[in-house]
Amino acid sequence: MINDVMKVSWLLLSIWLVANANAASASARLYEDMSILTSQEHQGREAGNPTPNLTAQFLYERFQNLGIEVNYQSFEFKIGFFSKKLGHNVIATLPCTVDQCGKKLIITAHYDHLGGQGNSFYAGANDNATGTAALLAIAEALKEQTRFGDVIFLATDAEEKGLYGAKHYVSKADTKSYALNINLDMLAINNKNTLYALHDKRAKKFIKQFKQQDKSFKVFSTSSQFRLHKKLNDNRINWHKASDHYAFSLKKIPYIYLGMGIDDKHHTKKDTLDNMNFEKYQSVVESISDFIVSLAQVPLESTN
């Protein structure tokens, strides 16, 4: 009897140690990805390069090393009235693993920022290295799971220039095959400890599921821009149009936009990894990851 009890105890201890080791490893990778994306080497991740820049290459290689199918999608966008430049989306796809597949789930985050030169650059930690690094973490969490539909991870370029990467993607997509877009933009929650979720009315059932999860932070969700303005005590930003989810909304694809709301360091050189609360950010990524894994494990139907 004692031996049996000891065996069970050792088994439970082993499981606990493995789980904690995996969690520590995931945390280290998330921090490393954030460090790389915000480094001087990446020079603020500005869009407009003739070929995929260092950040796009980094994302491509990270997805590839996870064993996930990945491709570039290049496009032109306007600069001023007469000039054009090239942007480069990075698209990774985890295919459906069952015989009867539901609609597609697409997770988006823009990787571009404001750029810079030499020692003077915009790191863009919150905007939007947080969403970009989260894409990688979620993809890793989901890759060994059963999936009842394709899950697409879209790292968009040229969001800061006018949502051009997302607009190009949806212009080439069969929009009727998508159930939901989840857009991640600025996930480094602050002292309010609140994640804001603006959603299409058709995505209400999905956001309800997210809010029911146990988490260490608050979630304020609404489909009303008026309510969000009131909650943030700031009506300067049109949140429906503020990020890549708007491109999906224009094509009648339901969306959930997740972000931390107003950031006083937004588009300043103070938006750095050192000025973030990494533990809170990590908690947000883990909760979003759990939510997306749960969505992928049932067949999703479009509410278009």
Query: Residue 191 is encoded by which pair of tokens?
Result: 């002292």
Could you tell me the residue ranges of all domains in the chain? 2-296
pTM of the model: 0.92
Per-residue DSSP letters for 2-21? HHHHHHHHHHHHHHHHHHHH
CA gap 296, 15 in Å, rounded: 25
Query: Residue 270 is encoded by which pair of tokens?
Result: 């103070």
Give the strand pairing for 178-184 and 116-117. unpaired
Residue 80: the pLDDT is 86
Task: Give the C-alpha distances (Å, rounded to integers) separating 228 from 47, 205, 223, 233.
Answer: 30, 19, 8, 8
CATH fold of the domain at 2-296: Aminopeptidase (3.40.630)
Mean pLDDT in consecutive groups of 10 residues from the start of the chain, 304 residues: 55 49 78 98 98 99 98 96 96 98 98 96 98 99 97 99 99 97 98 96 94 94 95 93 98 98 96 97 98 96 59
Task: Give the C-alpha distances (Å, rounded to integers) separating 172 from 137, 163, 176, 217.
Answer: 26, 15, 12, 37
**Contact (CB, 8 A) for 84 and 77:** yes
Indicate the SS3 state at residue 193. coil
Residue 6: the pLDDT is 58
pLDDT tens-digit series, residues 193-224: 999 999 999 999 999 999 999 899 999 999 99
**Contact (CB, 8 A) for 185 and 263:** no
Residue 104: the pLDDT is 98
Q: In what order do the strands lie in the sheet with 194-199?
A: 69-79, 83-94, 151-156, 104-110, 178-184, 255-259, 194-199, 218-222
CA gap 200, 62 in Å, rounded: 31
Task: Give the C-alpha distances (Å, rounded to integers) separating 138 from 15, 151, 207, 216, 299.
Answer: 22, 11, 17, 18, 18
Residue 9: the pLDDT is 57
Residue 200: the pLDDT is 95
Residue 5: the pLDDT is 53
CA gap 97, 148 in Å, rounded: 6
Residue 16: the pLDDT is 45
Indicate the SS3 state at residue 236. coil
Residue 125: the pLDDT is 99
